[in-house]
Amino acid sequence: MATLSKRISDISPSMTLAISAKANELKAAGEKVISFGVGEPDFNTPAHIIDAAKDALDKGYTKYVAAAGLPALKKAIAKKFKDDNGLDYDPSQIIVSNGAKHSIFNALFATIDDGDEVLIPKPYWLTYPEVVKCCGGVPVYIYATPRHGYKVTANQIEAMITPKTKMLIFNSPCNPTGAVYTEAEIRDIAEVCVKHDILVLADEIYEKLIYGGETHFSIAACPDMAERTIVINGVSKSYAMTGWRLGYLAAPKEIAKAISSFQSHSTSNVNTMTQYASIAALEGDTKPMQDMIKAFGERRAKMLEVLDGMKPLGLDYVKPDGAFYVMLLCYNLYGKSYNGVKIHGSMDIADMLLTHAKVAVTPGICFGDDDAIRLSYALSMEDMLEGLKRIADFVAALK
Ligand SMILES: Cc1ncc(COP(=O)(O)O)c(C=O)c1O
């Protein structure tokens, strides 16, 4: 007897599982596998944040707290929104959850009904379509092409709007492309959203990780947008706190209230010591974060320099301005062979790179784009350079 709900059955299994399982097998067998697949900073959480968690435990802050977050943390988050983004939120509009991923789930669960269409620029972070489907919605993709810097335009968005369109998911800086939208581009997109009365889920988790002289601008700061935007953010990427599990959202009052009730019946509060640690992250010394951003910036520059040298091999990329990823365009290699085995797409390249070069990458197909593979530069400079050399040698050996 089938017992699974339709919603859960519609969710796609992770396409990266086979690759990571194989990478782990190789590592266990003693191979030096270089991983460009990493989605988290390779830095430790700064000491003052860890100390704040220890201090919270020592003080006995080990009990339940308000389901939507500690008042002191929500106050610190409201201040962050004001100082960094020029956004005015009452703490009641802020909900603290178990990572930005959880915040995204809550936001979609609270707003998407069966059959609602959700616009998602593609390549996309792979969780978006799955959560949309989980909530009964229908993902509708808008192609962000390399030719346009992996960005969609307001016109493209408008062309995809139907009477069923409920929401646009907007992620800048973007995972996987590293694209950062300019304020002017964002203002144009916001106008379309207001005109057609659609909600925006603005995932700003990589806000602090911007390098190319660009700056972050929140779509919620555009006229009439705060009332239709759910802003997602968190401490995972900016403060090297991925394992602590703390994300947050800011939403119009009615939506925040509904999410708060839902969270009170589902997960309740994020673990209390993490919330104290996050206050220290938001209010404390920003030097460790600045150092991390500087290191990412240096690796990014080096990686792009090396990739420039690999262009004669048929590889190309679009300069990423944010996050810590580069999409390496490799469609020119399709049809070529390694040891007589033909390459058909990004999954084949990822598989062969792992087998023959001991390099782990994420195939673009996971993000809805089979023309590229995603390289993360959240690894040491030394490993990065060795890994890029291995990729170049592999590509040079293709026939
Ligand atoms: C675009 C994007 N949003 C959200 C998240 C989730 O962040 P968290 O670890 O806080 O759940 C990630 C993590 O990879 C991400 O890349």
Q: Would you kindly state where each structural domain of the chain is located, as residue ranges?
A: 6-44+288-396, 61-283
Which tokens go with 223?
A: 């006229």
Whole-angstrom Cα distance, residue 69 to residue 78?
A: 12
User: What is the mean pLDDT, run by run of 10 residues, along the chain of 399 residues?
Assistant: 84 79 90 92 96 98 97 98 98 98 98 98 96 96 97 98 98 98 98 98 97 92 98 97 97 98 97 98 96 96 98 97 97 96 96 96 96 96 97 97
User: Of all atoms in ligand 1, which is nearest to the CA of residue 247?
Assistant: 10
pLDDT (0 to 100) of residue 397: 97
CATH 1.20.1730.10 fits domain 61-283? no
Pairing mode, strands 325-329 and 341-342: unpaired
The reported pLDDT for the residue numbered 17 is 75
Looking at residue 13, its pLDDT comes to 78
pLDDT of residue 19: 80
Phi, psi of 330 (to 5 degrees): -130, 20
Grouping H, G, I as helix, E, B as strand and the rest as coil, residue 166 is strand
CATH class of 6-44+288-396: alpha beta
What is residue 39's predicted lDDT score, i.e. its pLDDT?
87
**Pocket of ligand 1, beta carbon within 6 A:** 39, 99-101, 125, 171, 175, 203, 205, 234, 236, 242, 247
Best residue among 95, 237, 367 to mutate for probing ligand 1, ranked by most atoms within 8 Å of CB: 237
Give the CA-trace dihedral at 147, 212, 126, 37, to 10 degrees. Answer: 110
pLDDT at 202: 98
- Between β-strands 359-360 and 341-342, what pairing exists: parallel, antiparallel or unpaired? unpaired
DSSP string, 329-384: E-GGGTT-EETTEEP-SHHHHHHHIIIII-EE-EEGGGGT-TTEEEEE--S-HHHH
Ligand 1 closest atom vs CA 101:
11
Token pair, residue 65, equals: 């707290």
